[in-house]
Structure formats: C-alpha cells, structure tokens
Amino acid sequence: MTVTVVGKATNVVKTDSFAIDECVGNVATKDDRMSLARVFVSQPGQEPWLTLGYDEWIYCCSGRLVFGLPDGSTVELKAGETALVDKGTRFQPRFPEAGTSYIPVCIPAFRPDRCVREEASCCSGVAKRLAALHTKVEDAPEVLYHMCEQPRWEAAKSSGEAYFPPTFDEEGFTHATGVPSRLIETANHFYQDSEAPWVCLRFSRAALRKQCGIIVRDERAMPVGSKAVGENWTDWVCPHVVGGIPPLVVDAVFPMTRDGSKFVSIDGVTDV
C-alpha cells in the first residue's frame, strides 16, 4: 500500500454563471470509480433537467440549492447540509443565490453518457466542453491481457478455479492491459524479481461480463503490491478486473521470453 499524488483540480465547465473544477474523476485523475468536484455559482441560474446514471452526494458549502422534481415539488439544500440524489432520478438543480458553492461526489464517476441533459440543443457550450474532455480518455479496449507466473496459472487451470494474482486480496482487483505494446515495459518494471516462467493470458471484457458476471474498471495505472508505477505512466488508463480470471474466459496463452531476469518478448502478442 502507498500514498500517491494522482492528479490536480481541472476546470471542466466555465460559463458566465458558474464554474466546475473536477478534483477526482475521469478527467482530473483518469479514475472511473468516483468523481469529486467543486462548483462555484457566480449568479442565479439553473441547470437543465438531468437524469443520473450514478448516485450523487451533494454538500452545500455556501448559499443554497433548490432541486426541482417532476411532480412539481422542490427540495432545498442549505449551507452545511448534504443531499443524496439516487441513480435514475430526474431533477433540476436551481441556484437562487449568487455565491453558492457545493461539492458533488458521484459513484461511479461522472461521464456525459451517464448524465442525460434535457437541453434545448444537444450542442450547448457545456455539453460540448464535457464531451470534448471525456473523449480524451482512452477508448476501453475489448481484448485484454494479463501476465502471470506459469505455475500459478497452471495450478488454477488444473483445479478449475479462477486465477487470482498474489496481490488480489490486498488490492481488490486483477491488473490487466488492453495495449499490447505496454506489456514488456510493465513486466520489466514489476516482475523481474520473479524467477518462475511467465505467460500472458488473453481474454475479453464481454466474456468476463456475460459468462462470469465480472466487470472491468478503467482507471489510472496503480501499484502492484508495494511497487509504484512507472514515472511516465501518468496518462495511462488501465483495465482492472474486479475479480479473478476464470480459465473458461481465456482464449489464448502466450509464453513470455526472457534474457536472464529481463523480459524481451511475447510471441504472438508483442511481435504483431
């Protein structure tokens, strides 16, 4: 376990009436698990009607917010109070006072495709800005790879049970990548201390989800055990499998070639 600086506040919306700085999320930290932002209201106004694809907690730092609901009722949130907007809720945030500020926390993280905005035009300045920022996040690859010690993989396969890496209980997920060109660099950064033969497993998101009910989170690169990530990996978006790897989803196993402790190639993966 470690403590790592993972990003900094990034402005994602700025209009004449309000501004949003994301502190954690897909833009600021390339993390899809949750998002946290600071919102500053400079003049009274309101958002369009929204329908959320995530749970959102809203803490009012100053001023007040009013949430309009479809039945015509409203909920007022005052400074020092926290509201929870459940996933699937249709509502309209309203800002009756200039100087209002609040902190929204979304789980999973905010993304434009998770928030339906009922605007007169789908091409509003706010919608365009949010879409542009989130298209910078790498597309989620369908085909994934995981590197592991061959004896551990063979033991899992022989038992018929899912393979779990040694660090799973500590980290709660299985590291993977969808970018084959990163495999050798990753292996040499983390795994040269291991003397066992290694293999690279290939599988797909769809197989994990449809056959086993296992999801994949796309997040920033994270340490393996106590070993930190590479210094040049800050822009990487990495698939993290929220579970083990059942043998039935693995469609290919590639041997990894080494020169001493150094990994040099993966035939059929890094040479194509």
Is 225 domain-assigned? yes
Same domain, 203 and 104: no
Whole-prediction pTM value?
Answer: 0.56
Same domain, 119 and 31: yes
Residue type for 169, please?
D
Longest CA–CA span in the chain (Å) reads 71
Is 165 domain-assigned? yes
The CATH number of whichever domain residue 168 belongs to comes to: 3.20.170.20
Let me know: does 32 contact 60? Beta carbons within 8 Å.
Answer: no
Same domain, 168 and 130: no
The CATH number of whichever domain residue 30 belongs to comes to: 2.60.120.10
134, 151, 184 - which closes a domain: 134
Is 5 domain-assigned? no
In order along its 272 residues, the chain shows pLDDT tens digits of 578 888 899 998 888 888 999 999 988 888 888 999 999 999 999 999 999 999 999 999 999 999 999 999 999 999 999 999 999 999 999 999 999 999 999 999 998 888 988 876 544 667 666 766 665 445 678 999 999 999 999 999 999 999 999 999 999 999 999 999 999 999 999 999 999 999 999 999 999 999 999 999 988 889 999 889 988 887 788 999 999 999 999 999 999 999 999 999 998 897 65
Q: Can you read off the two tokens belonging to residue 100?
A: 């209002």
Is 1 domain-assigned? no
Same domain, 113 and 154: no
Same domain, 149 and 128: no
Number of domains observed in the structure of the chain? 2
